[in-house]
Amino acid sequence: MSARPCSPCAVTALSLAAALLHLNPAWGQDAAPAAAVGETPAPRPATSAELQPARPAATPASRERLDRVEVQGGPSDSTLRRSATAAKIVIGREEIERFGDSSVADVLKRLPGVTIGGRPGRGGEIRMRGMGGGYTQILVNGERMPPSFSLDQLPPEQIERIEVLRAPTAEFGARAVAGTINIVLREALLKRLNDLRLSLGSERGLLQPQLSWTRNDKLGEAGHAYNLSLMAGEQRRRDDVDTRIGTSDIRGGAQSVLHKSGQSEELRRNLNAHGRLQLKLDGGAQLTLMPFLVQHRSRTDSEIQQNPAQSYARASTEGLSEFSMLRLGSLYNQRLSEDSRLELRAGLGSARLDSDSLRREFAGAAGDGLPLRSQQDVLNNRDRSLNLAGKLSQQLGQIGGVEHSLVSGLELESNQRRQQRNSLQNGEPRPELSEFGDDFDASTLRLAAYVQDEWSPSKQWSAYAGLRWEGIRTRSSANNYAVSNSSQVLTPLLHAVWKPEEKSRDQVRMSLTRSYRAPNTQDLIARPSINNQYPSGANTANEPDRAGNPSLRPETALGLDLALERYLSKGGVLSAGVFVRRIDDLMRNVTRLETVSWSGEQRWVSRPQNLGKALSSGVELEAKFRLDEFFDEALPISLRSNLSLFRSRVDEIPGPNNRLDQQPRYTANLGADYRLRSLPLQLGASLNFTPDNLLQQSLLQQSRSDRKRVFDAFALWNIDRDWALRLSASNLAPQDYGSGTIINTGEQLITTDNYGRTFTTWQLRLEVKL
């Protein structure tokens, strides 16, 4: 579908950012104007040892009071972004809760360069700079979550802030080719907080109730503090299924069309609990305990009709899934001297996923027809994790007339998974999979060591140099095979910030980094997953089996980032940046016809392969400001706009459209909100736009996706100091969304088109301060 009707949205964001970036031709020559209340004018670039927003780390008492933004008048989100040597965007509580979003993905989609896969309102993979599939590192409290965990299971009410790092750092790891998104859960504050929120949402007439409660308070007279956050909710969804598969014989000219239609329903129930207990110990030390519990249960039912009736006419599927996760993190913080500080971390985690899916195929339409085939898949995953880390921060004093801040650290992470899987066809085990076994064990051991130094060569320059070594060993074993894969990467990292004058609000950022992308454990496991549509005999290229590749190598990337920023007097920011990533050993799923051990005939199999080199680059523009910063008589309307343009090329795949997987050509956001002067009412709206996309995935296959236009709005009525009512609407003016693939095997041309409706989600939320 063409993106032309909504192109003015992108043009608006571009013209807005470009005009404001050139508003003052004497950039960097003016002294900083008076700072707004609560903002520190032109702060010197802070070191990692001084500013710790990226980690939910507790620090000694004096530093703890400095870092608490909302309570103690510490640095604002804009100041934290401005002061960091490595490029960082900090999203605080006010922005997280502005639209009353029900998922983290809805919050992230408005950030510069962030895109969400799938249909609007249905979540999907989170990508920075259009790069997903492991290019974007997702952390919660600075740690990776188990593979079965989804950010959809984490409600925004439990998030303190979101940090977006556009380039890797030694402390947070180099598995961040596109960048890092670190989600920091609620922290224990010194100010008492007791919030209750009751929500009722509706989509397609299905109700979605939710309750959340957050409590912050002191504990005793010794300076202890705690936080407790609870959330319980239920979500019902109904989706239409509409798939058309066209097959053309290239030589003979014969054509056929297969149409699948029906409906699926899902019921989700979630329970989340997170806590943080901060204990002040003797000698200025501090111990923090952070329990985190997630329970998720879902049931899905679908009914699909197939026309013409080939192997079956109707298929029904029933699925039940239960996921639970319990993690306990701990942090010990001790100041060793005036110039050094020690931080020790330890964490234990356990997760389990149990799913049971039953598919039944019939010869006739609903209500009649003989049963033809049934397939049941029962899956039980058990994950165990252990992580240990130590970090030493030191102020080295004057070296060559310059103060240096040195941080060094060691990390150990161990993950173990045991998977039990039982696949039955017509109630009997599948003999073709006997050589692989139903169960397997997998373990991953990661070791890392890093050192980083931050210093200011002059009042106009700040610099960062880091070096990180990381090694990963993955082992898996099953019935009669064992696989081992080891890799190690040494990544140098350089960041710098330059200001035209010491007190200038303008600055230029530069980063030169090396990063990498490691294979997922599942990508290394050779056990195949046989396609349900063609369980035996030959299959088709659009319905392949899936299997891993034990010989897969990690990708490495050389990155360059440049950005020009201006920080406005009332907390706004204007930014224009470019980035380049040169990728080696690119990993991508490739579908080929193979002779396989689980079938007497050749079958199409999709496996991850290393394809060689790729290049990705882009331009990122952002403008956040209030209108009255530029026009004295204007209303104090807060405007937010960003536009990101992407280009990429995979060398081993012929063009055109040989870009990185699922990377769009651009993405744009435009939003505004206004607090009325005459009424206790705040109004806001935002528009998110991603154009249609056509991608050459391999020599045989193309994929496409329709444009996405998502319009959100909210209204917040402050009844009094302690009561507020928020009405939110997500995906106003919904559009149908389609995606598909085109496969040319040389003998057949197979096109698959999937269409689905999208819907507006309404939510009414009562917010009470108890």
Kindly write down the DSSP assignment for every residue of 284-350, as one continuous string.
G-EEEEEEEEEEEEEEEEEEEEEES-SS-SEEEEEEEEEEEEEEEEEEEEEEEETTEEEEEEEEEEE
Relative to beta strand 88-91, strand 159-165 is: antiparallel
Average pLDDT, the chain: 87
Q: In 3D, which of 491, 487, 488 has the Cα closest to residue 513?
A: 491
- This prediction has a pTM of 0.86
Residue 39 has pLDDT above 80, yes or no: no
The pLDDT confidence band at residue 184, using thresholds 50, 70 and 90, is very high
Average pLDDT estimate for 252-276: 94
Residue 334 has pLDDT above 70, yes or no: yes
Higher pLDDT, 34 or 369: 369
Average pLDDT estimate for 511-533: 88
pLDDT tens across 429-484, in order?
Answer: 877 666 666 788 899 999 999 999 999 999 899 999 999 999 999 998 877 778 88
- Residue 58 pLDDT: 40
Query: Distance of alpha carbon 647 from its chain centroid, rounded?
Result: 21
- Residue 530 pLDDT: 86
Are 733 and 711 in contact by the 8 Å Cβ rule? The answer is: yes
Residue 46 has pLDDT above 70, yes or no: no
- Residue 660 pLDDT: 94
**Buried b / exposed e along 62-72 (16+ C-beta atoms within 10 A):** ebbeebbbbee
DSSP for 437-479 reads: -SEEEEEEEEEEEEEEEEE-SSSSEEEEEEEEEEEEEEEEE-S
pLDDT tens across 99-116, in order?
Answer: 988 889 899 999 999 999
Residue 57 has pLDDT above 50, yes or no: no
Show contacts of 327-330: CB within 8 Å, 24+ apart.
Answer: 327/290, 327/291, 327/292, 327/293, 327/385, 328/289, 328/290, 328/291, 328/292, 329/141, 329/143, 329/289, 329/290, 329/291, 329/292, 330/287, 330/288, 330/289, 330/290
- Residue 425 pLDDT: 87
The pLDDT confidence band at residue 51, using thresholds 50, 70 and 90, is very low
CA distance 715 to 739: 33
| Single-letter amino acid, residue 471 | G
Q: Is 80 helix (H, G, I), strand (E, B) or coil?
A: helix
The pLDDT confidence band at residue 14, using thresholds 50, 70 and 90, is very low
The answer to which of 66-80, 291-305, 441-455 has the lowest mean pLDDT is 66-80
pLDDT tens across 588-617, in order?
Answer: 999 999 999 888 899 999 999 999 999 999
- Residue 434 pLDDT: 66
pLDDT tens across 664-690, in order?
Answer: 999 999 999 999 989 999 999 999 999
Give the residue carrying structure tokens 């502005």: 98
Q: In 3D, which of 175, 128, 170 has the Cα closest to residue 616?
A: 128
Higher pLDDT, 585 or 524: 585
Are 75 and 40 in contact by the 8 Å Cβ rule? The answer is: yes
- Residue 219 pLDDT: 86
CA distance 195 to 228: 11
CA distance 272 to 296: 9
DSSP for 381-423 reads: EEEEEEEEEEEEEEEEEEETTEEEEEEEEEEEEEEEEEEEEEE
The pLDDT confidence band at residue 757, using thresholds 50, 70 and 90, is very high
CA distance 543 to 605: 9
- Residue 177 pLDDT: 96
The pLDDT confidence band at residue 145, using thresholds 50, 70 and 90, is confident
Detail the DSSP E strand segments found in 54-178. Answer: 88-91, 114-116, 126-128, 136-140, 159-165
CA distance 620 to 113: 7
% of the chain at pLDDT higher than 90: 66
The answer to which of 121-125, 391-395, 562-566, 651-655 has the lowest mean pLDDT is 121-125
- Residue 415 pLDDT: 94
- Residue 386 pLDDT: 96
Q: Could you count the other beta carbons within 10 Å of the beta carbon of residue 255?
A: 10
The pLDDT confidence band at residue 49, using thresholds 50, 70 and 90, is very low
Residue 301 has pLDDT above 90, yes or no: yes
Higher pLDDT, 125 or 191: 125
3-state secondary structure 581-646: EEEECCEEEEEEEECCCCCCCCEEEEEEEECCCEEEEEEEEEEEEEHHHCCCCCCCCEEEEEEEEE
Task: Supply 237's token pair.
Answer: 């969804």
Give the residue carrying structure tokens 């998502």: 710
Q: What letter would DSSP give residue 33?
A: P
Strand partners, 403: 398
Relative to beta strand 159-165, strand 136-140 is: unpaired
Helices of type H across 116-163:
none
- Residue 79 pLDDT: 86
Are 82 and 76 in contact by the 8 Å Cβ rule? The answer is: no
Residue 92 has pLDDT above 80, yes or no: yes
The answer to which of 99-103, 267-271, 541-545 has the lowest mean pLDDT is 99-103
The answer to which of 111-115, 149-153, 464-468, 557-561 has the lowest mean pLDDT is 149-153
- List the chain domain ranges: 4-769
- Residue 435 pLDDT: 64
CA distance 55 to 479: 42
CA distance 211 to 410: 40
Average pLDDT estimate for 620-648: 93
- Residue 122 pLDDT: 79
4-769 maps to which CATH number?
Answer: 2.40.170.20
- Residue 74 pLDDT: 61
Are 578 and 619 in contact by the 8 Å Cβ rule? The answer is: yes
